Amino acid sequence: MKKRRVWLTIGLLLIIGAYALFQIDEANKRRFLQNYLQEHHALSDSSYSSHASITQFGTMFHVTLVDEPDIMYDFFIKRRDGVMHVVYSFNLEQGHGLRDREFKTVNYAILDTLFK
């Protein structure tokens, strides 16, 4: 009975630790995306809302601009060789947004440098 409690406690601590690490990683990636959107696209934090989801390719942030409430822009945050990068992912189901071309243009320039 005592061994079972120990294993349950260890399991619970591992789950709590994994959740905490996930939250810290997501917060770091969210800050990185905020800086990217500010520097490359002049978008302040108040001009959009975002939420994150985990996919098979990594963390994806769904960004909705205040002036385009019906369009969601998707950005992956990727780590390569210890460096974080933002990759814009066009959502075909959503249609074209006003900033689509701008996001794609910056995206292609970033992808070009990633794979050299």
Domain ranges of the chain: 2-114
Q: Which two tokens stand for residue 58?
A: 């990594």
| Strand stretches in 56-103, DSSP E | 58-65, 68-80, 83-89
Is 98 in a helix, a strand, or coil? coil
Task: Give the pLDDT of residue 102.
Answer: 79
Given pLDDT bands bounded at 50, 70 and 90, which one contains residue 110?
low
Task: Give the pLDDT of residue 19.
Answer: 92
pTM of the full structure:
0.76
Residues whose CB falls within 8 Å of the CB of residue 49, separated by 6 or more in sequence, listed in order: 63, 64, 66
Across the chain, mean pLDDT equals 83
Is a pLDDT exceeding 70 seen at residue 48?
Answer: yes
